Amino acid sequence: MGKFELPLAEVERIVRQALAEDLPWGDVTSDSLIPGDQLGIGRIEAREPGVLAGLPVARAVFAQLDSALDFEAGVEDGARLQAGQVIAQVRGPLRSLLRGERVALNFLQRMSGIATLTDRYVSAVAGYPARIVDTRKTTPGLRLLEKYAVRVGGGNNHRYCLSDAVLVKDNHLAALRLRGVTLGAAVAELRRTLPHTMRIEVEAQTLADVREALDARVDAILLDNMSPALIAEAVRLIDRRALTEASGGVTLDTIRTIAETGVDLISVGALTHSVRALDLALEIEV
């Protein structure tokens, strides 16, 4: 699997669900046309440049379908692909190979698309300390794979789920105000009840919000939908007393300007919610 790790049991569960969705009662075309003993080779190829992610998942697809299928990868996740490059070969019963073709490609194409887009964002801030992080804007049921693909592309993961860390957002703040609870009192209560290892991050939309978060002694401040000039001012005001995260409307056109502000983290929802699948294909050798 290379230097990137995925929990195998979870991968197998996700693959099992995907195969059940695509093969609820068999593949009527392949089952009717392809003899069970016909053997062959399928090549998975790149049709455009990009960063590869998802080989362990593709391997699991074919392994679950038929133990007689042999999956041989020519590269590892994280490889920079060129158009026409062979990524892997699958040998064995053609009927089983064809059953798994689309499911394997769906995983590979989406995950490679995420890794490729992440790589573009990471490259755009080269030379600045800002780290590119993802969000929870992922495909339901596929968060594990999509956040893995972000790491393969050179990015970092934000919290995995709501159970990981405290992130007090605008709607939480509105709910607190309705009850007359200040941010400082809320953070103090969190410190009393949560494990000491858990960070507390608070969203800020104005410099007044930033000052309030600093007074509450939070661990990180999310600078939401601020202009680069306002982000820079907030970073100076915070002065390393908390981690700084820029978020909201980040694009490839704006991210370098945001990185120039000195912010620690830049979260990009587009890495997973608006990605284009990388063009890959499986071709049968004839």
From 137, 191, 199, 256, the catalytic residue: 137
Predicted confidence (pLDDT) per residue in 272-282, tens digit = 999 999 999 99
Per residue, what are the HEC states of the chain? CCCCCCCHHHHHHHHHHHHHHHCECECHHHHHHCCCCCEEEEEEEECCCEECCCHHHHHHHHHHHCCCCEEEECCCCCCEECCCCEEEEEEEEHHHHHHHHHHHHHHHHHHHHHHHHHHHHHHHCCCCCCEEECCCCCCCCCHHHHHHHHHHCCCECCCCCCCCCEEECHHHHHHHHHCCCCHHHHHHHHHHHCCCCCCEEEEECCHHHHHHHHHCCCCEEEEECCCHHHHHHHHHHHCCCCEEEEECCCCCCCHHHHHCCCCCEEECCHHHHCCCCCCEEEEECC
224 given a catalytic annotation: yes
From 27, 45, 146, 224, the catalytic residue: 224
Burial class (CB in 10 A: 0-12, 13-18, 19+), 71: buried
**Residue 90: half-sphere exposure toward Cβ, Cα within 13 Å:** 31
* Residue 121 CB contacts under 8 Å (≥ 6 apart), including other chains: 132, 155, 252, 255, 268, 271
Does residue 218 surpass a pLDDT of 90? yes
Predicted confidence (pLDDT) per residue in 147-173, tens digit = 999 999 999 999 999 999 999 999 999
From 16, 47, 169, 177, the catalytic residue: 169
Does residue 249 surpass a pLDDT of 70? yes
Structure tokens at 150: 């972000």
Question: Average of pLDDT values for 104-117?
Answer: 98
Q: Tell me, what's the pLDDT at 1?
A: 37
Separation of alpha carbons 163 and 72, rounded Å: 38
pTM of the entire predicted model: 0.95
Q: Tell me, what's the pLDDT at 4?
A: 76
At 77, give phi and psi (nearest 5°).
-55, 140
Does residue 219 surpass a pLDDT of 70? yes
Does residue 216 surpass a pLDDT of 80? yes
From 45, 77, 201, 203, the catalytic residue: 203
CA distances in angstroms from 160 to 80, 137, 145, 157, listed in the order given: 26, 10, 11, 7
Does residue 3 surpass a pLDDT of 80? no
Long-range contacts of 206-212 (CB under 8 A, 24+ apart): 207/233, 207/234, 207/237, 210/234, 210/237, 210/238, 211/237, 212/183, 212/184
Predicted confidence (pLDDT) per residue in 37-79, tens digit = 999 999 999 999 999 999 999 999 999 999 999 999 999 999 9
Out of 3.55.10.10, 3.20.20.70, 3.40.50.10800, 1.10.10.60, select the CATH number for domain 123-273: 3.20.20.70
Does residue 23 surpass a pLDDT of 50? yes
137 given a catalytic annotation: yes
Residue ranges of domains in the chain = 8-122+275-284, 123-273
Does residue 2 surpass a pLDDT of 60? no
From 13, 80, 91, 102, the catalytic residue: 102
CATH superfamily of 8-122+275-284: Quinolinate phosphoribosyl transferase, N-terminal domain (3.90.1170.20)
